[in-house]
Every structure is written in C-alpha cells, then in structure tokens.
Amino acid sequence: MDRDFLGKRGLGVLSQIDRIELILCALLDKFITEGTKETKYHGVRQLTGQSSYLVIIADPNGNISPLGYRDDLDDAGWFYDRARIAMYGASVKKTYLNFPEKHNLAKERS
C-alpha cells in the first residue's frame, strides 16, 4: 500500500480499529476485481452489476469474516453495525475512509 493511498500521515496515527478497517477495505478492493460501488458503510460492498450487498467484517486479529448478503443497503448497514457492536462494543466511534469511486487495485497492477 503506497503512502499516497494513506496520505502523508501513514498508518502510524491510526487506531487499531482504523487500521483493521483500512486493511479490510483494501482487501475488498483487491479481491473484488470486477469493480465495486462504494457505500457509506465499511465492510458493505455491492458488486458491480449485482443487486445484493456483501457484508464482511474483520476481527481484532485481522481475520476477515463474510457475514452474508443483504438485498437492501439499509439492511446491510444495520446488519454490519450490529456485528460491529457485538465485536467491538457500543462505544466504538465509527470512522469513514474516502476511497475513489472507481479505485481498483487490479487495474493499477496492469
């Protein structure tokens, strides 16, 4: 992951949960190479051309767990938030990372 992707600050200033979510988003962008549609939820991605949303979460050890598919974005977001609270507790502050809409690591490699 290059410094331009992370900005000038790098990973050092991010909390553990921020790091996990950054890694999660990067992994999703890496493995879903058909292109993704960014949503307001970390760990909720819609495959281009698909109507359902894939919900994935990373635990504190960095293990990636697919939680399933939801047909509706609000339902997917609610499902993700419940899993996040169960895993990290209700006091965890949400963070949002802005990714380019058409960011695709597979295209960058070619």
In a domain, 107, yes or no: no
In a domain, 81, yes or no: yes
pLDDT at 104: 39
In a domain, 35, yes or no: yes
In a domain, 30, yes or no: yes
In a domain, 110, yes or no: no
In a domain, 48, yes or no: yes
pLDDT at 27: 60
pLDDT at 100: 39
pLDDT at 61: 58
pLDDT at 10: 44
Residue range of the domain that includes 22: 3-93
pLDDT at 37: 47
Based on the structure, what is the number of domains in the chain?
Answer: 1
Q: Which residues of the chain have pLDDT under 70?
A: 1-43, 45-50, 57-66, 87-110
Please state, in angstroms and rounded to a whole number, the distance separating the CA atoms of residues 79 and 69. 10
